[in-house]
Amino acid sequence: MGVLRIMSSPRIHLLAVLAFGVAVLFIENQIQKLDESRAKLERKIARYEVAEVEQRHSDDAGQELSPLADKDDMVIIYNRVPKTASTSFTNIAYDLCGKNRFHVLHINTTKNNPVMSLQDQVRFVRNVTSWREMKPGFYHGHVAYLDFSKYGVTGKPMYINVVRDPIERLVSYYYFLRFGDDYRPGLRRRKQGDKKTFDECVSSGGSDCAPEKLWLQIPFFCGHHSECWNAGSRWALEQAKYNLVNEYLLVGVTEELEDFIMILEAALPRFFKGATELYRTGKKSHLRKTTEKKPPSKETIAKLQQSNIWKMENEFYEFALEQFQFVRAHAVREKDGELYVLAQSFFYEKIYPKVN
């Protein structure tokens, strides 16, 4: 009997330890469930309080609200860089404007000059800010960035844009000037008849493929300062970076255009509701493709990459890409090979004074 007691004691002790562990886990699980229930209840109470406050403000306003609500006073400017898939994206805005009830306006400058005269700058700023019949409005055109705060107006538009690998953009533009695209195939282009390839142009030192032709995305973001258009200017590069971060709501990249559209739809559904599906299935999403485009050789790429202008333009492109990927990482998640926009991850609480 003594031997049986000695042998059974460790078993009882082990069972007691296991029972205690199970009990602890059960209690921790119940506590976690209670915490989750409490958090859900707090969110429901917060939403109810917010709804009560909004309703009270709405009742107080009564019939004094202007016919044009704040959200319908919005203006977006897409100062599109040539050959960055800008037509593909703009076509989506044209397809959505009727359904989503906003206006689309093309800024057509003489000879596609991206720099406006001072008097045109004032006219344009006045038009955009005071033309109520065209609000909400989506303006697009090959125009350098304009800082609206310089012109003494209240309210600034939201800027968006898309950038592209600088060599890829130049190659596309080179062949576009010679062969056009499938958007308007019958239109005669400025360099039509010139059969020289991009590789041959670089090899012979042609002007249409010179490193100076790479200098475009930086000045478009830099703006209307004279130094912006000084090819190779470090000041222009830094100003373009500053504007991208501080003055643009979102800057995407051509290589990830669908993600750019998805984030815009999530952030600005007033304009872009339905844009992602339209891009994926619509007939116009990839309509404009440059004809007869031949990829450059490794030797051609290496030669262009020796220039300081390429190094600066590429630095700006990499900067824009890193910023876009940062925004995307906090806006979407991937599941089963598909990207999904994240739901709202904040709420309001502790709202005072309390609603009676």
The per-residue b/e assignment along 159-169, b for 16 or more CB within 10 angstroms, e otherwise, is bbbbbbbbbbb
Q: Taking a C-beta distance cutoff of 8 angstroms, is the pair 174, 198 a contact? A: yes
Distance CA 142, CA 169 (A): 15
Residues annotated catalytic, as ranges: 140, 142
- Residue holding tokens 């955009």? 128
Phi, psi of 344 (to 5 degrees): -60, 135
In contact, 79 and 144? CB cutoff 8 Å = yes
Report d(CA 167, CA 258) in Å as an integer.
21
Q: Which residue has the tokens 């925004």?
A: 327
Phi, psi of 106 (to 5 degrees): -90, 130
DSSP code for 84 = S
Nearest partner of 100 among 278, 262, 271, judged by Cα: 271
